[in-house]
Amino acid sequence: MSHLVDDYRARATAHDEMLGSHPDHRRAWTRILTRPFGSDPAALDAVAEEVVDLLQDQSVTYGEPDSTETWNLDPVPVLVDDDGWQPLESGLAQRAQLLDLVLDDLYGERRLLTSGTIPPEVVLAHPGYSRHAHSLPQHGEHRLFHLAVDVARNADRTWTVLMDRTGTPVGAGYAMADRRVVSEVLSGVYRRSRVRRVGPYFQALLRSLQEAAPPGAGDEPHIAVLTPGPEHPTYFDQAYLAGMLGLQLVHGSDLRVEDGRLTMRSLGREEPVDVLLRHVPAGDVDPLEIRSTAGTGTPGLLHALRSGSVAVVNPIGSGVLESPALRAHLPRAARYLGLGDLELPSAVTYWCGDRSMCNHVIANLHRLVVRPVAGPEGAVRGWELTVTQRAALAARISERPGWWVGEEPVDASTTPTVDSGTLHPRPTSLRLFAAVDGPDYQVMSGAVGISSDDDAATPLGGTLAGRAKDVWVITHRSQPVTASGATGRDVLPGRFPDTAVSPRAAEDLFWLGRYTERAEGMVRMLSVATDRWDDFRSRPDDETDETESSDDGVEGDGSEGPAAADGTATGSDTTTGSDTTTGSDSADEPADDSTVGGSGRQALDVLVRALGLAPDDPAFGALVTDRSLAGSVAWCVARMQRDARGVRDNLPPEVLTVMASLDRVIGRERRRRATDELTGVQSTLSRLLESLMALHGVFTESLVRDIGWRLLDVGRRLERAQGVVGALEPLSTRRDAGTEELVLESVLTAHDSVITFRRRYPTGGLGAALELLLLDESNPRSLAFQVATLTQHLEHLPALARTTGQRDELLGQVRELLDELRTERADEVRDDGTRTHLAEILTSISWRLRELTGEITAVHFRRTPAARWTEGRWEM
């Protein structure tokens, strides 16, 4: 069988990075493709699937949260040798220096404009230009802090710039994530190859952020990453970068300005912020001075900037450097500023604001790339347009010529890319990164490669959509082992205290705990209900005349550690269900004439109704897989993921890994049920419970006991408290002894307490069950345990909005109601079968727990509404 490399063929017109490389470098390509894959297409697909799994485990996302678009990473990296990398590294450093000088001049002396080197319209008419930036102080030697540049290698083997990203450069976090995934799936060849590390870039970035701090910030300035929020398409990149650098991730609503000082709102005292690494567009940072409808800004931020108390990088107004029209004039600007010819030139660009260039563009629409200088409308390949479309485009250009540019297309080089078990040549561009490092710029020794799914597509730059590729710079020198983030005291950022949790993050952590506990409660109740269904409804009547055994009664003696492979808690023994008599407090009542099967059906109806399903045809599968069904497992997991994304910088990576596992299990069950609706969901529920118990283990063992952890656990405990009260409410109505026995056993099983119950209370009974599930503070599943834990946590939570009196009174009333509960009175029954004492206690506790949720929100999570300019006025 021929090797995959032998079957690989390049396109006729484009340079291929593997086949067109130097023989020594081509051997490196062959080695990397031979050792992992050999001649087996299945091995290629297996590695590609492993990449997908790792990306899901790390929650590497791209695009809108609810879209189908994901980060698509190819397992085959792009290889560049030292000799091939040096022109890119040198050229990018020169380009960064040029753009820094241009930016400094545009907001300073404006010599480039007054001399005619750059037409004023190119700058002043661009939305990235900000008049506010003229009054802002500059901290440090450079105005442009970092940038990203999209490049492609043309058919003549020269590198060409497609796009500059200087406003909010995106992609460095993806570059590190790609490296970690690909180096894991290709670990053998990665260790044997001398690949230059990307870690030094991030260390330089962090070091430079510290140096950008204002003079009064001290030796350990507080640095934060400003994000538009989890709904942003590249939120992963922002959160991953913040976590890697050990920086606080903040939203505009997390910040406030008072007396010219920027601070972060928190549940403790407000903390000063000295440096903001900005990922919010400049036009959205301050709704007080810039009219924005985004709602992501901080009123007064520009005032704080003018006062010199905070530094924002990249600075306000740096987005003007992204103008395609500016690229047409950069060669002249470089010579004017004394930098000579550009080592890394842009694609030949014609600005339509120049009449002769405009005529050239209109006459050559059929072969040029045409793009507006700004705005959401993307570039178009003129040769892909119809005659009518080209005529319409020409009319638009003539109407507003200064808003358009034409570019010579770049016939980008191709790289081997995995597709259906084979290697295909795909046009590939690279996104390069550079950041200030002292007097110079540090260039990342790597990049994000983007390959097109279309063999003949001309890359346009400016986007990360497509098939991502890791970029390995192969060197002959040995590489030191370095960490990816901050290492050494000289690059540690100023640490925010443990109380520095914003109200927004606090609320996300609280609801993350609640939805996690809600998902577990639903899984446990479904496990019991589906087992009872198999016992009493899915078999013929003659098979249920005798007592059936049920193997759902498992618990871990209070342990909340990881679950065993079969879904039972570690250290637990599996016991049968209805083959053991649990007893009844009403033993003197006459025996009901119902058979065990009839009692089982009645008990099943109680459980099914408690789940909100129709007893005759319960949709158990929908409660597992339907994301649109409120309260389903899939619905809870989706909200867990949403809240975890919002506080990603506060969580260990294992949290996201477990959530990805939950999502995969639900996805497999959803696909299975599409073709097989008859098979039960028990095995899926076991795997879900195993993952949820693992998640609880991470929460318990891997989170520092700070304010954030307490908030998460408050959510868990409050949800568990409501869950146990809700589960006991069906017992407020007395039923026949057989039905009651099975319902009681089901509730104990669903709350992981049936073994302790049988061991501690051999004669059973409702009173004993209430003692265990409501009053026993040694049982981590009991209401009393939740109340005691909540009391301890809430004592340590600082109030944000108002006093805690009402909050503490509600919790105190729940404690008093538990003290009033008399288990010996639990079986007092009215004529209608209602257990009055039990029903009153449970009802009173239930509404107080609901009120407690609202009070905790009001005391700890109050947010300042975002200011928006709407219909000529400010709205809060």
**Is the separation of the CB atoms in 336 and 288 below 8 Å?**
no
pLDDT of residue 577: 39
Give me the amino acid identity at 234. T
What six digits make up the tokens of 514?
């609640």
Whole-angstrom distance, CA of residue 855 vs CA of residue 53: 41
Strand partners, 355: none
Alpha helices in 313-436, H assignment, sequence order: 324-327, 330-336, 355-363, 387-399
Contacts of 392 (CB under 8 A, 6+ apart): none
Sequence-ordered list of residues with C-beta below 8 angstroms from that of 586, at least 6 positions apart, any chain = 734, 737, 827
Q: For residue 24, count other CB atoms closer than 10 A to its CB.
A: 11
Contact 403, 325 (CB under 8 A): no
* Displacement of CA 672 from its chain's centroid (Å): 27
Going by C-beta distance under 8 Å and a sequence separation of 6 or more, which residues neighbour residue 471? 77, 78, 80, 175, 430, 446, 447, 448, 449
596-610 helix and 737-750 helix, angle to the nearest 10 degrees: 50
The dihedral through the CA atoms of 299, 301, 302, 304 has a sign that is positive
Residue 680's alpha-carbon distances to 350, 472, 523, 552, 604, in angstroms, are 65, 48, 14, 14, 16
CB 197 within 8 A of CB 479: yes
The span from the CA of 748 to the CA of 781, in Å, is 10
Length in residues, the chain? 876
CA distance 42 to 592: 63
Give the SS3 label for residue 81. strand
In the DSSP assignment, the letter for residue 770 is H
CB 433: neighbour CB atoms within 10 A? 28
Q: How many CA atoms lie within 13 A of 599 on its CB side?
A: 22
Cα-based torsion angle of the residue sequence 755, 759, 760, 763 in order, rounded to the nearest 10 degrees: 110
DSSP labels for 7-38?
T----SSS-BTTTTS-HHHHHHHHHHHHHHHT
Distance CA 84, CA 222 (A): 39
d(CA 814, CA 847): 10
Q: What is the pTM of this model?
A: 0.85
* Contact predicate 185/238, CB 8 Å: no
Distance of CA 524 to the CA centre of its chain: 27
pLDDT at 340 (0 to 100)? 94
User: How far from the centroid of its chain's Cα atoms is residue 861's Cα?
Assistant: 21
What one-letter code names the amino acid at 522?
M
Say if residues 633 and 523 touch (Cβ distance below 8 Å).
yes
Residue type at 679 in one-letter notation: T
Both tokens of residue 150?
A: 């999209």
CA separation for the pair 314, 279 (Å, rounded): 9
Q: What gap in Å lies between CA 473 and CA 445, rounded to an integer? A: 6
Task: Check residue 574 and give its pLDDT.
Answer: 35
Amino acid, single-letter form, for residue 441: Y
**Nearest CA among 155, 157, 180 for reference residue 25:** 157
The sign of the torsion formed by the CA atoms of 161, 163, 168, 169 equals negative
Question: Which residue ranges in the chain fall short of pLDDT 70?
Answer: 1-3, 36-39, 66-69, 268, 292-295, 455-457, 478-499, 537-597, 677-679, 801, 862-876
Q: Residues 6 or more apart from 683 whose CB is under 8 A from it?
A: none
Q: Is the peptide bond before 314 cis (omega within 30 degrees of 0)?
A: yes
Pairing of strands 275-278, 311-313: parallel
- Residue 134 CB coordination number (10 Å): 11
Q: What is the dihedral of CA 658, 661, 667, 672, to 10 degrees?
A: -140
Contact criterion met (CB below 8 Å) for 575 and 642: no
β-sheet bridge partners, residue 450? 429, 468
Alpha-carbon gap, residue 772 to 775, rounded angstroms: 6
Rg (CA), the chain: 32
Q: For residue 836, what pLDDT is reported?
A: 93
What residues does 423 pair with on adjacent strands? Answer: 418
The helix or strand, by DSSP H or E, that contains position 853, with its residue range, turns out to be: helix 836-860
The letter for the amino acid at 704 is V
Distance CA 482, CA 470 (A): 18
Residue 317 to residue 102: CA distance in whole angstroms: 12
Contact call for residues 165 and 148 (beta carbons, < 8 A): yes
Q: Which residues contact 840 (CB under 8 A, 6 or more apart)?
A: none
**Burial of 245 per CB tally in 10 Å (0-12, 13-18, 19+):** buried
Check the CA dihedral 12-15-21-27 and report its sign: negative
Q: Which two tokens stand for residue 358?
A: 């405009």
Looking from the CA of 35 toward its CB, the CA atoms found within 13 Å total: 14
CB atoms within 10 A of CB 589: 12
DSSP codes, 418-467? EETTEEEEEEEEEEEEEEEETTEEEEPS--EEEE-SSTTPPP--S---SE
pLDDT at 36: 67
